[in-house]
Amino acid sequence: MRHPPYHLRVNKAVDRLALIEAIRHLEKLDDISAYTYYGFGGPYLEEFRLLYELYPRMRMVSIEQDEETYKRQRFHLPCGTLRLEKAECGSFLAQYEPEDEKSIFWLDFTGLEYAHFDNFMTLLGKVATRSMVKITLRAEPQDYIGSDEAEELRLAQEFRRRFEAVLPDASASPPVGFRRFACLLQDMVQIAAQNALPGALPLMFQPVSSFCYSDGTGMFTLTGIVCARSEEFMIRSAFHGWQFANLNWAKPKVIDMPVLSTKERLHLECLLPCSGSAGAALREALGYLIDRDRRSTEAKLKQYADFHRYSPYFVRATP
């Protein structure tokens, strides 16, 4: 099976490290080493390596249905606390029984199917309280733009038919813009969470962050915690001071990191954090544009100011 080079994609890497930051805030509430992390590690098991460095005692499970990718995971296995499960996501969740064991799940889907929302709802109904669940979905409005008006109408009707159970407006067409499409997906995740944990139940799903980004393909991702309704204030307080917290289903934060050289990054990092207009200050520090004009350059550099602590360094090395 072919995989995009997720381990070399900057915006994906920022999203991955933002999850680590969310887990650090969760640590204010519980002993993270008592949790089990479940994810779709892909061939290189990248987030499992990061988690092992920070939480070497945490149990981890990678879920993978492709035989050849599973073999590559066995080759890249980073530690003895990681268990590899060869299974399809839906089948794994159907058999998953937490038995009051707290979990952290990353449902890192690469497509957009109703089955993904169904798996998300199944999981919310099963996990123990104070478990964290992150869901990632494809957010490509181009998928629903046809070559003519008739095809676009057909694609819109198909979209409404497939996702009618989680759409906020049953008659709406898929938005053309990427950010509006990501906002629609967040509304759909919110409805799915409310369907899984309606107000009559003692548990709820509290969002803690949401992002949208593109590394060749548009993606939307949201992280939240299943908690008792009586714990809502405590959960929100644990994440209140985080710069990227989204506790009220506000619009997703855009991740759009600029491509900078190591020399440029080192030059800028000594100025961070900075007050006022970070994008303008960093542009002045560089003395030149890195994008098509001044406005877009400052927007890109503002992104760097926001996310530089989560941005990895990719370097050439001789094995």
What are the structure tokens assigned to 80, written together? Answer: 């003895």
Q: Which domains does the chain have, with CATH numbers?
A: 6-255 (3.40.50.150), 262-310 (no CATH)
Residue 226 CA to residue 208 CA, distance in Å, equals 11
Query: What are 261-294's pLDDT values in tens digits?
Result: 999 999 999 999 988 899 999 999 999 999 999 9
Cα–Cα distances in angstroms (integers) from residue 36 to residues 32, 59, 104, 209, in the given order: 8, 5, 6, 20
CB 182 within 8 A of CB 255: no
What is residue 313's predicted lDDT score, i.e. its pLDDT?
Answer: 82
CA-based angle 214:307:81, to the nearest 5?
85
Query: What are 122-156's pLDDT values in tens digits?
Result: 999 999 999 999 999 999 999 999 999 999 999 99
Residue 169 CA to residue 122 CA, distance in Å, equals 23
Cα–Cα distances in angstroms (integers) from residue 287 to residues 241, 277, 280, 292, in the given order: 33, 16, 10, 15
Where residue 8 falls among pLDDT bands split at 50, 70, 90?
low
Amino acid 98 reads P
E strand or H helix that includes residue 280:
helix 278-286
Query: What are 199-250's pLDDT values in tens digits?
Result: 999 999 999 999 999 988 999 999 999 999 999 999 999 999 999 999 999 9
Residue 176 CA to residue 25 CA, distance in Å, equals 35
For residues 17-21, average pLDDT:
96
First to last CA, the chain: 25
Tell me whether the omega of the peptide bond preceding residue 202 falls within 30 degrees of 0, making it cis: no
